[in-house]
Each structure stands twice: as C-alpha cells, then as structure tokens.
Amino acid sequence: MKKFLIVKISSLGDIIHTFPVVGYLKQKFPESQIDWIVEESFADIVESHPDISHVYHVNTKQWRYGKNLKAFGEFRKSLKGVFYDVLFDFQGNMKSGLFTYLARTKNKVGFGWKSVSEWPNLLFTNRKITPPLGFNIRHDYLYLVQSFLKDQHSQYEDRGVLLKITEKQKKHIEDILSRPSLVQKPWVMVCPGSAWPNKRMSAQALTTTLQNLHQQYCCSFLFVWGIEEEKRVSEKLHQQFNDCSLVVERLTIPVLQNLMDNMHLVIAMDSLPLHLAGTTCAPTFGIFGASSAKKYQPLGFNHSSYQGTCPYNLVFEKRCPRLRTCKTGACIRNSNNSIKITMEI
C-alpha cells in the first residue's frame, strides 16, 4: 500500500474525528502518501496536518448550482491524474459518493447498508463495511480501515498530532502564556460555545462549576470564542475571575490547537474545541447533553465527560432526535447544579 485517499468533506468536528485514521495508516505504512478531499472552507485544518500529502479542495455549494465549473474541471483533472491503492469514504453521503466515483482506484471502501448516512452512497463503493454498535465514532472510522486491511485485532493507540504552525505563531502562543493574569498554574482553557444552543451549559451552572474548580486548584482560566455571541459569554465569565483569567483573541484553528497543547485541562461543550483538544496531550472534560459522550468524547484515560439526562426519556446512539428542534435543551441548559471536575496536577 503506497497511496491512500480519504474522502471526508465536512464538517470540522467530523474531520477531526478522522485524524486517528491518518495516524494509524502512517504507523502501518510509514512511507505512504495520504491525500484528502475536503470542502475548501475546511481545507486549512487538513492542510495543517503534518502527515497529509495533498488536499483536494471542493465547493459543493457552487458546483451544485453550476457555478465556477472551471474549478470543478481542474479538480476532476487533478484527481484523475493519480491512481490510488485504496479510497476510504468516511462521509457516506451522496456528495462524497460522487467524488468517490470520480477517483481512480480499484478499492473504494465505505459504510454498509446499516451504517451509511445516505443510501445512494452505496452505489459508489465496492467494499462496504458496517462497524459494530456502541463504539466511539473514531473507532468506527478505524474499523473501516482495519477491516479492509484485515488488521482488526491490532491495538492502535492514538497519541494525537500537533498541527503545523509558523515560528511567528509559536511566538504568539508564548506571548499569550506570559500574560500577568496567567502567572498562576494550572492553566484551564474554557470553551463555552457550541453551534447548537441546546448543547450549551447554562451560564449559572458553568460559573458555579468554574468557581468550585478555582477554589480547589487555584487555577487560571483562558476563555476562547469563535463568534461574537461566544465572545460576550467569555467576557462575562472573565469578569468573575478578573485577576486570574484572560479572554483570548480569536485564533486560527492550528494556533488554537497548539495553545491547547499547553493546557492542564480543556473544558468544552460537545463542539469543535473539544474534539480539537482531543488531538493534543491536554486532558479534556466534555459536557454533553443532546449527543452521546460515549460516541463522541475524545479517546483516552485523560479525557472525561458529563452526560446530561434527557427529561423526555429519549434514548439515542449518537445524537438526540430532537437536537435540531428541542426548544428547551433541558438536558443541559436548565441545570442549576455545578459539575464536579477533578484534575491531576
């Protein structure tokens, strides 16, 4: 095996879940070439991975409506110029199936009938594999690869990866960590935001949780954000810990990930920051409500989580069926109790 192609076009969190596959392939085939097809809006994080050789940019929104077809032609020509030993389609939907169809390889591996996201994807793969139920999403992706390679019984330990950044960006991280408000260790990064409002912990419960943590460990907090709403939440939290906290300016994903690697703990909702932190050496504490911690929390002994209880008694394998429609988010947002978090210093 010399050349591998990964098809995982979105979204950021799901792309990060696929990173252990890259580590496994590089461990088994150190001299291999690993390429990736991804939406161009998410390409930066894949291009920052040190073990990815080439990244194909796609723009499905434009191409769907017949826009910028010249770029599509260039993409297709570039993809046709390489013959791969095996392709892994981890997206499992109609869009990824079309790119899988265009790729030149005899081995097109994807999900089976019981696990594929959209059934038309089955038309474009010739090796269909269904992972067993009840395992972490990262194990599902690894299962596809290991099953194809007949290596299911090998024990692979994902040790994460540091994304590539410049020397100037490394210096910027050093400057952040040298701020006077961070003199006190341990450092705890707090990521209060999530794309879905009903995945966020209530402000009251989060504040109480952090107050208890600070009282026990005398830690300093770094509050990070991605959008203006999250920035406002971070600034309010910062006011509660004015002398020992910092609201970090918005960073690129590779720089944020390298900053996370310096933390003694990262606290986050089930969102991009949690999964990004899971690729570093930093311990994490994930807060889950409308999604399953068992399915999505980072792997490893130094990662722990809290799972909210559904007041409607809904049971789900991956995500709550009401994730997009639930107006209360009561499994997590209405909790008035703090969550107990422990740290190993």
Separation CA 247–CA 326 (nearest Å): 31
For the cut 90, the answer to whether the pLDDT of residue 13 exceeds it is yes
H/E segment holding residue 104 = strand 104-105
Condensed to tens digits (0 to 9), the pLDDT of residues 237-292 reads: 999 999 999 999 999 999 999 999 999 999 999 999 999 999 999 999 999 988 99
If one compares 326 and 171, the residue with the highest pLDDT of the two is 171
State phi, psi for 89 to the nearest 5 degrees.
Answer: -95, 100
Coil/strand/helix, residue 106 = coil
Q: Which residues pair with 89 in a beta bridge?
A: 7
For the cut 90, the answer to whether the pLDDT of residue 129 exceeds it is yes
pLDDT at site 194: 86
Which band of pLDDT confidence, cut at 50, 70 and 90, is reported for residue 80? very high
pLDDT at site 208: 92
Count of residues for the chain? Answer: 345
Separation CA 291–CA 90 (nearest Å): 20
Domains of the chain, first to last: 3-148 (3.40.50.2000), 167-307 (3.40.50.2000)
Which band of pLDDT confidence, cut at 50, 70 and 90, is reported for residue 152? confident
Whether this model's pTM surpasses 0.85: yes
Q: What is the DSSP string of 201-263?
A: PPHHHHHHHHHHHHHHH--EEEE--SSHHHHHHHHHHHHHTGGGEEEPPP--HHHHHHHHTT-
Q: What is the DSSP string of 281-315?
A: SS-EEEEESSB-HHHHSPPSTTEEEEEPPPTT---
pLDDT at site 203: 85
For the cut 80, the answer to whether the pLDDT of residue 196 exceeds it is no
Q: From 81, 94, 151, select the one nearest 123 (Cα to Cα).
A: 94
